[in-house]
Each structure stands twice: as structure tokens, then as C-alpha cells.
């Protein structure tokens, strides 16, 4: 097997620093958003006692799900022994860590008492899915960190497969945990389903890979390093398979719910009666997030670099919309305490709940995205994560 | 963990006091660092424990008592924050933490130890302050005599 | 904390307590061996230094037939007792906490109307307690479900989990308007406490029940559901009652008649 040269990106061009500054600016906005939310309380957000989880959770859960998905390329390399993917693995691991960091920051900075984070680290209720997630997230950092180390340090290279396998199993468990945050809720018709865990796993494959492909292509284009079509075409086919699987899970999930009379109204709200939420579901999640990318990736368009990037961008947008529909949509539909009765109260019982996200929430969420990208940008400058070349000839040699 | 934080708080407090003490030597009495104003309580003659002990350990007592009260429903008065407030609320503001000179705030800002008790707890005694004339006997005394507290 | 041990009854607060303390002194040994036996009798006058006991289970009976349409005395009483701003006076109605609310129900087929107060149902198996990451949401030994604001981090997972929409987040600073007896504050989640401050004081009732009785509706009864002689137990034996969303099998502390 031919060896691959990994090299840091130079990171001294004005373009690099402009990117750095641009992301830094959004991190700053995110910090300011948190500061004002912390100072005034959640009264300045669009969240209320009906829609209790809002845009920050949409971004946070998306980033956390995408983080575990971003690790896939590395897993394929070391767990499934595909030599072609080996040079792609270090970026995959660092991206996973960066996205996880961004997501977690958004999640904890949205807490009503974000100043008491230490309490969440010292008091545990092991019946809570949230508590399990705290351990799953910390373990993810430890395992992926160790895995990255085995990739970068030749002296511990022999442990790479073991670390990679452990990280792979862990990330599957982690996304099961993230999906179960919702799956383990009995109160709401659209949650309380074991379908959510596997659905989140397959979604993580798709979102993580889409982000990975965009970051990889951008890194190679902006540093002028060669990136051959062999890599891109292989990965885009994989992405198409993931998206098709996501669609399959979405269909089965909704069909299952539709069969329960008690849940039909809630599903009808998402699929037919929900106005804005329904539009987001059909146009955002299904059309933009799945169908169009699938068409692009599976037709001749998918042979062009530009169109692959468009498909990836659409998948990411569709993914954020999907989280919005999953998180906000389920809360917008009122709790059905007295089935069959019309409910009315000062606490908005029996009404569809409205949510209009506020600026601080949006910027807190974007701040998390910016942190993830900033960490990645910095990491490729200080660590040898990217192969000097990924042209077709270099990649072809790996396979023999 | 809480213990560790507590120790940290004490260390910080001690350090701050020591540092401020040094300042005092160099500068005249009207130095930049305002000394905490420790006003006499509006009622009662002595605290539930002696002053030196309370200055160092009031947080331990309060922390222990709060868990007993919230989690188990034990409502003895001796170490209850409500009783602290009943005695130490300022006559001027009727509160322990409204004005800069109020009992809790004046010391805590001097020691630079942030407390979030009053994010949730009222800083004022229940009812108007007049309800508690300065000469009134503090409730926890009665309980000490009763032995009503554990 | 080494104070002198209790149990000398110089100045008990109430006659009830005097009786208890006397009895307790006499049977101090018995108390430690079989606490349940004693505690049932003294459910209404637990002394300050005694922890809430699992021998007691506080509960409420709501008779929806007696609950008057348009009357919200229970809501007003709760807000006065516990210091939360009534939603009508709030500048942010969707974000204002509501510990109890009047719910109006109508059957679209038969047009039959029902109205009833809805609040924390004090489940024996509370979903909010299960999901709370820090254990801040907890059930006290006597069945009252509470939030420990010292460990609540404001994640709102309990609000996602509650089937009764009983919980609210305090969205803004309360600026020292809290009642001395009812600490509550920004960034923490809260809900009906069964007036735990009154229960621990030995009132044996809640603000909403007092208000409902005072208005002459008598739609609410509060008491110890474990004590077969309590009024609530007697009424529950006679009246057919239902639990809201009984399908979830949470074993609720609030039972409804006439729904």
C-alpha cells in the first residue's frame, strides 16, 4: 500500500484569516446572544411555556447528530478496512469533535440556568435519558480524541483499529441516545417511538457526510490541493444511499403513527393541517432535503463537483428543517389530555402553539455552527489532518 | 463537589479579607475599598452560633438546612434562611440584599463572592418589617429553648 | 448541628402539636420502631423537625360537577398564596407561569360542557422526575412532586415530558417580588406544590381548596389519601372518579369526578 503524505494547511494567506475572522465574528455574535439571554432570561426569546425547546435546540441537536455522522468516513476506513478511506479519516474525526463541541455549547448555553452547568456535571439521575447523554457526549470526546491520536501518532498506530471500532460503536449508541431524548417522552403523540433512535442514526449518516464533503471540497479548493473525482464520486453515491434510507425511515415512522387513532390528529398536523410546519415538512425536509438531492446525486448531474456541493448544501438545509419539524412541530400540536373533547384555557390548551424565533436564539445557534467550523479551520492549520494530494492516481494506488 | 466549591469560597473570602487588610495599612481610612457595613440585627442579641463561627460557616449551615427542608420537608427554624432574614433585614430597606449596605450584600460584595440565593428567595421578612419590632424575641431562640430544632 | 435534642413541650404552636409532642415523648421508642402507625394520626400536625413521611399521601379530589363555570377563585387564591403574577396582568402571557388554570371542555358531538381546574397531578410515577437530568425534579416522601431550585438547571426536559402541561419556566427576573415562604426564580421550572408551605405548617389544606370552599362551591377536597378516615378518602370511596390520561398509568394524586 502506498503511503500518503499528510500536511498542515499553511493558513497564512489573507483568505485564511478572512475566513477565520468571519467565523470568529459569528462566534462573537453567539456569545453576545448568550449574554443577553442570560441577563434578561428567556423572556427575550420566542420560546415560551408552550414551545419550550426552540431554535437553539434545533441547531444543537442537528450539530450533535451531524457530529456522530461526520465520523463515518473514519469508521469505514478502520472498522470496515477500506484503504481508500484511510487518508480521509483524520479530517472526519476532527470534524466530528468540532461539530459535537458546537452542538453541546449551544445546548448548555440555552439552559435557563447556564451558570449552573457544574450542577449538571455533579448531580445525576440515571433514569434520565439526558444524564445518559451527558456520559455519551463526554465518552465521545474521549474515544474520538484517542482515535485521532492513533491516526496522528505513528507510535500508537497499532491501536487505530481498536480505537476506531470503539468510537464507531460509541457513536451509534450516542445517536441512539439523542433520538431517545425524544423517543422516551410519553406525553406527546409524535414522540414516544423507538423509531426515532434508528431514524436519527441514519439521518446522522446523511447530515454528517454532507457536511464532511463540503468541508473536504472547500479545504482542497481553497488550499489549491488536488482532489480527484474518485473520492468525490464514491462518497456521493454513499450519500445517495443514506438519503434514500432516511426517506424510508421517515415514511415508516409516519405510517406507524398514522395507524394509531390517538395519534392521527398529530400526524395530520405535520402532514396536512400544520400550515407553516406542513410546508416546512414537505418543501423543506422532503423536497429540498431529500428528493432534489437524490435526483442530483443519482443522475448525470451528480458527476459534476458543483452539483454535488449543491446536493450537500440542500441536505444540510433539509436537515435543519427536519430538526425544526421534529422539535417544534411536535410541541406546536397541543397535548391531548381529554381525547375527543374541545379544550380551552388561559394556558393555551387545545390550541396550536405559535413560535417565532428571536434574533438571540438564531445567533446562538449560528454561533455553535461557527465554533464547529472555526475549530476545524484551526485544526487543519496546526495538525497534519489533510493529505497533500487526493488526486485519482494517489487514491488508486491505495486500493492495491 | 459542593464541598470543594465551599472551600473555594472560603479561601477566596479569606484571601480577599487579607488583601483588603493590607490595603488598609497603606491607605487612610477612607480608602478605595469600602469596608463591609455590618449592621446590628433588628432583633435579638446574639446569633444562633457565635459570630466568628457564623462568618466562616454560615454557608455550610444554610446548605445543609436547605436540603433538609426542600427534600425532606424538615422546617426547623434555627438555621433557616428565612430566620436569618427576619433578624438581619435592614431597618431602612427592610431587606438583606436590596441596598449596598444591606447585611448579605455588603459583606458579599466586599468578599467578591457571588450568591444566587436571592434570585429565588425573597430578601425581606414575611409581612411588613414593623411586624418585627427591634425588641422582639427571635423565633429561633424560642426553639433553642424548646429544643424544637434538631 | 448539635443542638439540644427536641421533645420538651414548653411552647408548642398548636394544641394539636401539644398532643403530639406529649404522645411522642411517651412513645419515643415506638416511634422509631413503627413510624407509620404514629404518623397517620398526626398527618396534619407534623412537627418542624420531622421529615415528610411516606405513610402519608397527599391528594386532591376535584368534583367537576360542583366547579362553577367562569369562577376562577382557585386560580386567584393560588397566585396570591404563591406569588405568581396572574396571566391577565402579565406583559408576556405566553411566557407567564401558571401553576393552576381553569380548563373548559366541550364534547363536540353532545355539546356537553365541563369545567375544572388543571394543575400538577402529583403522579406516583412522575415522568418529570424520570427525565430530570440532575434529580432536581423529585417526589417527596408524602407524594408531593416538587422542583429543587438549587439543582434545577432550566433544561425544560420535564416540561417536554409532562402530559398535563403542568409546568412553567420562569422567563424573567422576579425582582424580589417572591413570597418569603415560596422561593421561585428566573431560569428555573416550577409548578403546583400542593401549597407545601401550608401543608408543612399543618394547615392540612391548600389555597385553592380554601378559596373554593369559601366561595361555597366545595368542588375541591384535599387530604391524606392513605388515611382511610380522612375526608378525601371517604369521598373517594363513594364517588366514582377518574384520572386524567389514565392510560399512562401514572397513579395520580389528583382525582376527578364528573369527567
Which helix (H) or strand (E) segment holds residue A287: the answer is: none
pLDDT at A2: 54
B1 touches chain C (CB under 8 A): no
ipTM topping 0.90: yes
What are C21's three cell numbers? 409532642
- The C-alpha atoms of residue A194 and residue A159 are separated, in whole angstroms, by 34
Contact list in B for residue C185 (CB cut-off 8 A) is 119-121
Are the CB atoms for A245 and A353 separated by under 8 Å? no
pLDDT greater than 80 at residue C19: no
Mean pLDDT of chain B: 75
Q: Which residue of B has its CA nearest to C135?
A: B71
| Yes or no, beta carbons of B2 and A122 under 8 Å apart | yes
Q: Which residue of C has its CA nearest to A36?
A: C172
pLDDT greater than 80 at residue B4: no
B116 touches chain A (CB under 8 A): yes
Q: Please, which pLDDT band fits residue C18 given cuts at 50, 70 and 90? A: very low
- The C-alpha atoms of residue B84 and residue B7 are separated, in whole angstroms, by 22
- Window 198-217 of C, Cβ < 8 Å to B: 200-201
pLDDT greater than 90 at residue B6: no
**Contacts of B among chains (3+ CB pairs under 8 A):** A, C
Which residue in A320, A367, A373 sits closest to A34, CA to CA?
A367
Closest by Cβ to C151, choosing from A42, A119, A134? A119
| Residues found in chain A | 400
Q: Which residue of C has its CA nearest to A345?
A: C103
Q: Please give the residue that has the higher pLDDT: either C5 or C236.
A: C236
Q: Please give the residue that has the higher pLDDT: either A55 or B40.
A: A55
Instruction: Count up the domains in chain A and report the number.
Output: 1
What are C192's three cell numbers? 403546583
Q: Please, which pLDDT band fits residue C45 given cuts at 50, 70 and 90? A: confident
Residue of C133, C172, C174, C175 best to disrupt the A interface, most CBs of A under 10 A: C133
In a domain, A139, yes or no: yes
Percent of chain C with pLDDT over 90: 82
In a domain, B17, yes or no: no
| Yes or no, beta carbons of C131 and A185 under 8 Å apart | yes
We report the CATH number of the domain holding residue A359 as 1.20.1630.10
| Yes or no, beta carbons of C98 and A113 under 8 Å apart | no
Contact list in A for residue B2 (CB cut-off 8 A) is 122
| pLDDT tens per residue across span C93-142 | 999 999 999 999 999 999 999 999 999 999 999 999 999 999 999 999 99
Are the CB atoms for A82 and A164 separated by under 8 Å? no
The full set of domain ranges for chain C reads 58-257
Residue C191 exposure: Cα atoms within 13 Å on the Cβ side:
28
∠ CA A202-A204-A206, nearest 5°, is: 75
In a domain, B29, yes or no: no
pLDDT at B8: 60
Q: Min CA distance, C243 vs chain B (Å)?
A: 26
- The C-alpha atoms of residue A271 and residue A254 are separated, in whole angstroms, by 9
pLDDT at A397: 86
Compute CA C28 distance to the chain's CA centroid, rounded to the nearest angstrom: 30
**Strand (E) positions, B85-131?**
none
pLDDT at B127: 64
Compute CA A215 distance to the chain's CA centroid, rounded to the nearest angstrom: 14
Q: Coil, helix or strand for B44?
A: coil
Q: Please, which pLDDT band fits residue C17 given cuts at 50, 70 and 90? A: very low
The region that residue A241 occupies, defined by phi over 0 for left and psi between -120 and 50 for alpha, beta otherwise, is: alpha
Q: Coil, helix or strand for A137?
A: helix
Q: Coil, helix or strand for A399?
A: coil
Q: Min CA distance, C234 vs chain A (Å)?
A: 26
Instruction: Count up the domains in chain B and report the number.
Output: 1
Spell out the long-range contacts of C243-246 with Cβ–Cβ below 8 A and sequence spacing 24 or more.
C243/C121, C244/A337, C244/A338, C244/C118, C244/C121, C244/C164, C245/A337, C245/C163, C245/C164
Closest by Cβ to C154, choosing from A112, A184, A341? A112
State the residue for C-alpha cell 366545595. C218
Which helix (H) or strand (E) segment holds residue C147: the answer is: strand C145-147
| Yes or no, beta carbons of C153 and A120 under 8 Å apart | yes
State the residue for C-alpha cell 453515491. A237
**Strand (E) positions, chain A?**
6-7, 342-345, 386-387
Q: Which residue of C has its CA nearest to B62?
A: C1
pLDDT greater than 50 at residue C10: no
State the residue for C-alpha cell 422561593. C183
pLDDT greater than 80 at residue B118: yes
Which residue in A381, A224, A151 sits closest to A373, CA to CA?
A381
Q: Please, which pLDDT band fits residue B26 given cuts at 50, 70 and 90? A: very low
pLDDT at B91: 87
Cα C210 to Cα A84, A108, C14, C116, C220, distances in angstroms: 75, 41, 20, 16, 9
Range of the domain at B46: 34-140
Range of the domain at A21: 6-398
Closest by Cβ to C183, choosing from B67, B72, B121? B121
In a domain, A1, yes or no: no
∠ CA A105-A107-A113, nearest 5°, is: 100
pLDDT at A399: 74
Are the CB atoms for C255 and C243 separated by under 8 Å? yes
Instruction: Please report, in angstroms and rounded to a whole number, the separation of the first and last CA atoms in chain A.
Output: 6
Are the CB atoms for A261 and A339 separated by under 8 Å? no
- The C-alpha atoms of residue A110 and residue A34 are separated, in whole angstroms, by 7
- The C-alpha atoms of residue A37 and residue A117 are separated, in whole angstroms, by 15
Which residues, 6+ apart, have CB-to-CB distance to B51 below 8 Å? Answer: none
Are the CB atoms for C231 and C223 separated by under 8 Å? yes
Cα C136 to Cα A3, A182, B115, C146, distances in angstroms: 54, 20, 19, 8
Which residue in C229, C99, C81 sits closest to C162, CA to CA?
C99
Closest by Cβ to C178, choosing from B121, B144, B150? B121
Are the CB atoms for A42 and A50 separated by under 8 Å? no
pLDDT at C44: 53
Instruction: Tell me if the domain spanning C58-257 has CATH number 2.60.40.10.
Output: no
SS3 content of chain A, % helix, strand, coil (to 5): 75, 0, 20
pLDDT greater than 80 at residue C58: yes
One digit per residue, the tens of pLDDT, for chain A of length 400 reads: 457 889 999 888 999 999 999 999 999 999 999 999 999 999 999 999 999 999 999 999 999 999 999 999 999 998 888 888 999 999 999 999 999 999 999 999 999 999 999 999 999 999 999 999 999 999 999 999 999 999 999 899 999 999 999 999 999 999 999 999 999 999 999 999 999 999 999 999 999 999 999 999 999 999 999 999 999 999 999 999 999 999 999 999 999 999 999 899 999 999 999 999 999 999 999 999 999 999 999 999 999 999 999 999 999 999 999 999 999 999 999 999 999 999 999 999 999 999 999 999 999 999 999 999 999 999 999 999 999 999 998 888 887 6
Which residue in C50, C60, C87, C66 sits closest to C192, CA to CA?
C60
Strand order in the sheet with A342-345: A342-345, C100-106, C113-119
Are the CB atoms for A100 and A369 separated by under 8 Å? no
In a domain, A58, yes or no: yes
In a domain, B51, yes or no: yes
Are the CB atoms for C238 and C104 separated by under 8 Å? no
Closest by Cβ to C176, choosing from B118, B145, B149? B118
Say which DSSP state A325 is in.
Answer: I
Q: Min CA distance, B119 vs chain C (Å)?
A: 6
pLDDT at B2: 56
3-state SS record for A362-384:
HHHHHHHHHHHHHHHHHHHHHCC
| Yes or no, beta carbons of A115 and B116 under 8 Å apart | yes
In a domain, B9, yes or no: no
Closest by Cβ to C140, choosing from B73, B124, B148? B73
pTM for the full predicted model: 0.88
pLDDT at C239: 95
- The C-alpha atoms of residue A103 and residue A83 are separated, in whole angstroms, by 31
Contact list in C for residue B60 (CB cut-off 8 A) is none
Say which DSSP state B29 is in.
Answer: T
In a domain, B1, yes or no: no
What are B148's three cell numbers? 424544637
pLDDT at B135: 41
- The C-alpha atoms of residue C55 and residue A192 are separated, in whole angstroms, by 33
Are the CB atoms for A72 and A239 separated by under 8 Å? no
In a domain, A283, yes or no: yes
3-state SS record for B93-141:
CCCCCCCCCCHHHHHHHHHCCCCCHHHHCCCCCCCCHHHCCCCCCCHHH
pLDDT at C24: 43
Amino acid at each position: 500500500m502506498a503511503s500518503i503524505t499528510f500536511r498542515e494547511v499553511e493558513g497564512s494567506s489573507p483568505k485564511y484569516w478572512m475566513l477565520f475572522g468571519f467565523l470568529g465574528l459569528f462566534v462573537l455574535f453567539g456569545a453576545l446572544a448568550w449574554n443577553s439571554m442570560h441577563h434578561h432570561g428567556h423572556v427575550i426569546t420566542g420560546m415560551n411555556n408552550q414551545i419550550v425547546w426552540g431554535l437553539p435546540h434545533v441547531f444543537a441537536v442537528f450539530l450533535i447528530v451531524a457530529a456522530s455522522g461526520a465520523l463515518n468516513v473514519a469508521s469505514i476506513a478502520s472498522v470496515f478496512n477500506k484503504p481508500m478511506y484511510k487518508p480521509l479519516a483524520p479530517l472526519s474525526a476532527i470534524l466530528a469533535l468540532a461539530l459535537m463541541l458546537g452542538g453541546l455549547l449551544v445546548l448548555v448555553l440555552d439552559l435557563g440556568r447556564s451558570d449552573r452547568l457544574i450542577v449538571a456535571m455533579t448531580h445525576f439521575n440515571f433514569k434520565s435519558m439526558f444524564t445518559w447523554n451527558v456520559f455519551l457526549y463526554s465518552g465521545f470526546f474521549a474515544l474520538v480524541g484517542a482515535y485521532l491520536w492513533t491516526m496522528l501518532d505513528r507510535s500508537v498506530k497499532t491501536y487505530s483499529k481498536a480505537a476506531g471500532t470503539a468510537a464507531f460503536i460509541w457513536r451509534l449508541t450516542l445517536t441512539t441516545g439523542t433520538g431517545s431524548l425524544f423517543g422516551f417522552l410519553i406525553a406527546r403523540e409524535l414522540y414516544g417511538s423507538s423509531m426515532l433512535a434508528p431514524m436519527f442514526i441514519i439521518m446522522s449518516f446523511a447530515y454528517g457526510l454532507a457536511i464532511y464533503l463540503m468541508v473536504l471540497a472547500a479545504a482542497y479548493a481553497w488550499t489549491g490541493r488536488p482532489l480527484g473525482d474518485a473520492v468525490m464520486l464514491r462518497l456521493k453515491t454513499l450519500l445517495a444511499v443514506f438519503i434514500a434510507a432516511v426517506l424510508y425511515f421517515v415514511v415508516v415512522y409516519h405510517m406507524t403513527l398514522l395507524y394509531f387513532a390517538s395519534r392521527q390528529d398529530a400526524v395530520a398536523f405535520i402532514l396536512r393541517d400544520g400550515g407553516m410546519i406542513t410546508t416546512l415538512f414537505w418543501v423543506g425536509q422532503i423536497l429540498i432535503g431529500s428528493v432534489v438531492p437524490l435526483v442530483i446525486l443519482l443522475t448525470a448531474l451528480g458527476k459534476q463537483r458543483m452539483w454535488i456541493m449543491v446536493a450537500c448544501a440542500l441536505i444540510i438545509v433539509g436537515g435543519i428543517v427536519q430538526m425544526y419539524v421534529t422539535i417544534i412541530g411536535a410541541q406546536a400540536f397541543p397535548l391531548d389530555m381529554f381525547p375527543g373533547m374541545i379544550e380551552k384555557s388561559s394556558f393555551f390548551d387545545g390550541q396550536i402553539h405559535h413560535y417565532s424565533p428571536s434574533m438571540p436564539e438564531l445567533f446562538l445557534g449560528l454561533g455553535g455552527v461557527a465554533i464547529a467550523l472555526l475549530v476545524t479551520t484551526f485544526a487543519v492549520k496546526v495538525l497534519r489532518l489533510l493529505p497533500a494530494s487526493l488526486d485519482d492516481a494517489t487514491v488508486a494506488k491505495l486500493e492495491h | 463537589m459542593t464541598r470543594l466549591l465551599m472551600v473555594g469560597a472560603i479561601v477566596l473570602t479569606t484571601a480577599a479579607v487579607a488583601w483588603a487588610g493590607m490595603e488598609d495599612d497603606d491607605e487612610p481610612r477612607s480608602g478605595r475599598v469600602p469596608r463591609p457595613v455590618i449592621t446590628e440585627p433588628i432583633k435579638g442579641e446574639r446569633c444562633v452560633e457565635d459570630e466568628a463561627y457564623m462568618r466562616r460557616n454560615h454557608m455550610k449551615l444554610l446548605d445543609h438546612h436547605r436540603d433538609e427542608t426542600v427534600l425532606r420537608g424538615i422546617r426547623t427554624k434555627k438555621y433557616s434562611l428565612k430566620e436569618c432574614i427576619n433578624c438581619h433585614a435592614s431597618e431602612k430597606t427592610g431587606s438583606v440584599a436590596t441596598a449596598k449596605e444591606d447585611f448579605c450584600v455588603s459583606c458579599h460584595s466586599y468578599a467578591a463572592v457571588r450568591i444566587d440565593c436571592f434570585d429565588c428567595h425573597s430578601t425581606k421578612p414575611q409581612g411588613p418589617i414593623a411586624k418585627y419590632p427591634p425588641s422582639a424575641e427571635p423565633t429561633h431562640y424560642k426553639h433553642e429553648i424548646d429544643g424544637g430544632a434538631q | 448541628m448539635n443542638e439540644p435534642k427536641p421533645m420538651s413541650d414548653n411552647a408548642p404552636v398548636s394544641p394539636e402539636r401539644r398532643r403530639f409532642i406529649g404522645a411522642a415523648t411517651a412513645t419515643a421508642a415506638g416511634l422509631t420502631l413503627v413510624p407509620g402507625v404514629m404518623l397517620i394520626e398526626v398527618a396534619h400536625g407534623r412537627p418542624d423537625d420531622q421529615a415528610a413521611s411516606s405513610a402519608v399521601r397527599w391528594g386532591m379530589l376535584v368534583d367537576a360537577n360542583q366547579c362553577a363555570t367562569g369562577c376562577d377563585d382557585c386560580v386567584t387564591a393560588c397566585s396570591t398564596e404563591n406569588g405568581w403574577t396572574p396571566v391577565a396582568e402579565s406583559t408576556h402571557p405566553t411566557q407567564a407561569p401558571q401553576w393552576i388554570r381553569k380548563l373548559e371542555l366541550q364534547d363536540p358531538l353532545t355539546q356537553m360542557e365541563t369545567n375544572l381546574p388543571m394543575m400538577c397531578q402529583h403522579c406516583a410515577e412522575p415522568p418529570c422526575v424520570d427525565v430530570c437530568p440532575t434529580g432536581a425534579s423529585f417526589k417527596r416522601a408524602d407524594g408531593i412532586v416538587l422542583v429543587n431550585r438549587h439543582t434545577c438547571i432550566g433544561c425544560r426536559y420535564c416540561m417536554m415530558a409532562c402530559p398535563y402541561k403542568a409546568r412553567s419556566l420562569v422567563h424573567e427576573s422576579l425582582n424580589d417580588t417572591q413570597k418569603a415562604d415560596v422561593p421561585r426564580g428566573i431560569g428555573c421550572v416550577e409548578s403546583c406544590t400542593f401549597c407545601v408551605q401550608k401543608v408543612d405548617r399543618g394547615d392540612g389544606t391548600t389555597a385553592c381548596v380554601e378559596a373554593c370552599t369559601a366561595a361555597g362551591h366545595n368542588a375541591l377536597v384535599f387530604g391524606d389519601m392513605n388515611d382511610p378516615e380522612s375526608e378525601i378518602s371517604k369521598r373517594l370511596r363513594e364517588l366514582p372518579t377518574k384520572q386524567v390520561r389514565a392510560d399512562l398509568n401514572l397513579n395520580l394524586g389528583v382525582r376527578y369526578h364528573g369527567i
